[in-house]
Amino acid sequence: MTSPLRFLILVAVILSQTLFYSCNRNEGEEQSEQKSFKDFEWPDKKKAAICLTYDDGMQTHLDNAIPQLDSFNLPGTFYLNAVQARDMVAGWKNVSETGHHELANHTLFHPCPSDMGWQKEVATDFYTKDKILTEIAGMNTLLAAIDGEEGQRSFAFPCNNTAVGGESYLEDLEKSGLISFARGGGDSTSSIITNMENIAPFHVPSWPVPEGSSDAILIEHGEQILKNKAFGIFQFHGVGGQWISISDSTHVEFLTWLKAHEEEIWIGTFSEIMTHIQKYK
């Protein structure tokens, strides 16, 4: 399953099976009773919520981030794409069996704009809406093969880019029924969400953690989330290596701070926190 040939065969099968993804939309599902936002509160009377997300399904996530999270009994949300996951299927399957972390969708081939260095074959400039949605459907199928979970997934936009062929596909993604919630980009200000009623579930902002960030920078952002009684999403990439990385020690120090504030802050997966928010109207 990890050889390039078997990987390509798997991708071909996935694409052929998901070409007509729209036939399997989960429309009309019964909604649970909703509460009013004027009564909004976090579980267990906590003051704020933080979600730790990790993009690209990197080897350093398996080697460093996940063991560190597990040592603090904290959950993470990991956005996998097929290009990276193909050589780590067994590792991600082991992660899924713990039931502690969320495995989520980051497309099959991680397409991004050509002006960011992506070749034409995987540049969003040359994608259509049908093509990107077919890729997302295919990645759902691959994730199901890894963890056995069928149905919708949460999603993170590759490179935080929401357009293909010069047009936004946000509305198309929402209507497709493939995705439950979607995480976008943002900055250290816009990613601190204080008004849950106005949150856009298919474009939730996050803070892309800059390469080489110190634990002090991460903790300061966490303190701002807590101070504002907000919801904040950290968007990590490499941990202890690979691209856009922070050091192992920085990650551990930040997790230490989070654990020390666990009575005040709900640390949950992206889907857990968004599902809670969607209980209100």
Q: pLDDT digit string (tens) for 150-170?
A: 999 999 999 999 999 999 999
How far apart are alpha carbons 103 and 144 in whole angstroms?
Answer: 10
Report strand pairing: 102-105 vs 179-183.
unpaired
Helix 129-147 and helix 4-18: axis angle, to 10°? Answer: 120
Confidence of residue 8 (pLDDT cuts 50, 70, 90): very low
Portion of the chain with pLDDT greater than 90, in percent: 85
Structure confidence by residue, pLDDT tens digits, 251-271: 999 999 999 999 999 999 999
Average pLDDT of the chain to the nearest whole number: 91
> Would you tell me how many other CB atoms lie within 10 Å of the CB of residue 152?
18
The 8-class DSSP code of residue 11 comes to H
Tokens linked to 73: 């009994």
Q: Model pTM greater than 0.85?
A: yes
Residue 27 has pLDDT above 80, yes or no: no
Domain ranges of the chain: 4-13+47-277
Confidence of residue 10 (pLDDT cuts 50, 70, 90): low
Q: Which residue has the higher pLDDT, 212 or 85?
A: 212
Rg (C-alpha) for the chain, rounded Å, is 18
Q: How far apart are CA 274 and CA 145, in angstroms?
A: 24
Architecture of the domain delimited by 4-13+47-277 = Alpha-Beta Barrel (3.20)
Q: What is the pLDDT of residue 28?
A: 41
CA–CA gap between residue 273 and residue 96 (Å, rounded): 19
